[in-house]
Amino acid sequence: MRRSLVALLALAFCAAAHAQVVRPAPDFAISGVAQGTSLKSFSGQPVVLVITQRSRQKEFRAMLDRLHDIYSEFSNEKVIFVAAIEDGGDQVPCDIPFLLASNPTQVAADYGVTGHFAIAVIGTDGNLDLITQHIVAAERIRDVVFNNYESQTASRKQPL
């Protein structure tokens, strides 16, 4: 009995240690595309989510400028860009093709955004790999997108 309990605990520990999605990203609907399209529709593709109160927000525009500088690296990896603009803005003022979240105020609440701006990276596995309410270097976003759990796991040496 005791051995089976120990074995069961060991199995549970191993399963928990190998769980891929530690922080599942809250799902949200996407407007302007097919009915029923949501974040889950992009499973297997990294998503960069930018949340802002206004499309003219200083931090939002600064982050767009930074992302624009290395956008070509993202397009090769089929990264999806989504904006949640709370003031009802229906266009993102840049050349990067952004999809729009249907209910931006709810998206901000679901992601715990309390300020004027936030950026999040959702990995190919649906894990919330990064969320910050600060402007970050585009290289940081690139590093999070390209160095997700799946790519790290694939590059690890397998035990003998």
Eight-class DSSP state of 135: -
Give the number of domains in the chain: 1
Average pLDDT over residues 97-115: 94
Whether the pLDDT of residue 1 is over 60: the answer is no
Is 57 within the bounds of a domain? Answer: yes
Q: What is the pLDDT of residue 16?
A: 44
pLDDT band at 15 (very low <50, low <70, confident <90, very high): very low
Torsion of CA 78, 79, 84, 85, to 10 degrees: -80
Q: What is the pLDDT of residue 17?
A: 43
Is 14 within the bounds of a domain? Answer: no
| Three-state secondary structure call for residue 94 | coil
Burial degree of 18 (CB within 10 A; 0-12, 13-18, 19+): exposed
Is 160 within the bounds of a domain? Answer: no
Is 16 within the bounds of a domain? Answer: no
pLDDT digits (tens, 9 = 90+) for 40-62: 999 889 999 999 999 888 999 99
Is 125 within the bounds of a domain? Answer: yes
Structural domain including 63 reads 22-155
Indicate the range of 8-17, 25-34, 102-111 predicted with least confidence.
Answer: 8-17
Whole-prediction pTM: 0.80
Is 5 within the bounds of a domain? Answer: no
Q: What is the pLDDT of residue 158?
A: 57
CATH for 37:
3.40.30.10
Is 9 within the bounds of a domain? Answer: no
Q: What is the pLDDT of residue 80?
A: 93
Whether the pLDDT of residue 14 is over 50: the answer is no
Is 7 within the bounds of a domain? Answer: no
Q: What is the pLDDT of residue 157?
A: 58
